[in-house]
Amino acid sequence: MAPSVEELTQHVLKGEHRALAKAISIMETRGQSSRQLMKLIYPRSGNAFTIGFTGPTGTGKSSLVDKTIEEYRKRGRRVGVLAIDPSSAFTGGALLGDRVRMMEHTLEKDVFIRSMASRGDAGGLARAARNAIRILDAAGMDPVIVETVGAGQTEVQVATTVDATVVVLMSQLGDEVQAFKAGFTEIGDLFVVNKSDLVNPSKTMYNIASGLKQREDGWRPPVLKTSALKGTGVAGLVDALEKYRKHIDEHGSREKMARAKIEAELVETAYSDFYRETVDRLKGQKDWDLLVDRVLKHQVDPETAASQLARTIRKLDG
């Protein structure tokens, strides 16, 4: 017999790996059980420091996450990790090599690693990820690390769900470094130039740093160098992360950011639910087929037709 949501919650709070895996799967399905589970889990969450690792592919991000886990373990911390692969429509899931390599950690009791992939919308993936973070948080994992594969819309969305975003770069990306800067400065709280054993990172570090400003709360994002391969610089990265954690706690920016994040999440989730509840009714309206026909015959353009529909949506009875 399947355990009840209450029983599952008890096992989650004890940090049992099978329960964590099961609970995260439930959050991915977004059914009735996911809502019941979140009701029980959410009051027990909110303690973990959450860290996102992001940046272009090929910078050794996964290896750096591995070393960061090890460093946190040395410091006696229990670590939860979500590896998110938004390109799953192409890969049919997170890349196998990565997943297997990461799973080596999961033999350890105090490290839990899970890959998440979604064929659904980016919004749906972000929603499941936020709730999966809460599950690991309630299970006593701290920090919870979110690693995203590649660079794109989903990564930006995931970045808005964590306390600290680490942007991982490397030297010799050529033209890209310049171009990257513009967008990166907005989402990175810490910057890392990895693979520093291969190429002298000084110039890249300088380029990045010169694009960064001190934030309103007094934080200036540091630019660090690491070699995940040789394990150098990782302790420094974890020190910087902990310094940032202290900074946002002391300057009230964590609370402020938490409010902004919750507001964004509520709006996004509510509209997504509203959409799911009303879209069939919209398509069931008697003039729906007629409107589509008129657009297909180029009698009315899609923008005009859509704004007519937007008015119809307002009148749909829940």
3-state secondary structure of 82: strand
Rounded CA Rg of the chain: 22
Closer to a second copy at the Cβ: 179 or 199?
179
- Minimum CB separation of residue 153 from a second copy in Å reads 5
Is residue 291 at the binding interface for a second copy, with CB under 8 A as the rule?
A: yes
Restricted to residues 66-95, the positions that interact with a second copy (CB under 8 A) are 86-93, 95
Least Å distance, CB 253 to a second copy, is 14
* Structure tokens, 307: 């704004």
Compute the distance between CA of residue 176 and CA of residue 90 in angstroms, rounded to an integer.
24
CA proximity to 165, closest of 74, 86, 90, 61: 61
Q: Report the nearest approach of a second copy to the CB of residue 216 (Å).
A: 20
Q: Which of 11, 22, 70, 150 binds a second copy (CB under 8 A)?
A: 150
The footprint of a second copy on residues 236-265 (CB under 8 A) is: 258-259, 262-263, 265
Q: How many CA atoms lie within 13 A of 278 on its CB side?
A: 16
250-287 burial: b if 16+ Cβ within 10 Å, else e: eeebbeeeeeeeeeebeebeeeeeeeeeeeeeeeeeee
Sign of CA dihedral 187, 224, 200, 102: negative
Return the residue of 35, 74, 215, 246 that touches a second copy, per CB under 8 A.
35
Site for a second copy in 97-126 (CB under 8 A): 97, 119, 121-122
Minimum separation from the CB atom of position 166 to a second copy (A): 14
Q: How far is the CB of 251 from a second copy (least distance, A)?
A: 17
Among 151, 212, 229, 257, binds a second copy (CB under 8 A): 151
Is residue 219 a contact point for a second copy (CB under 8 A)? no
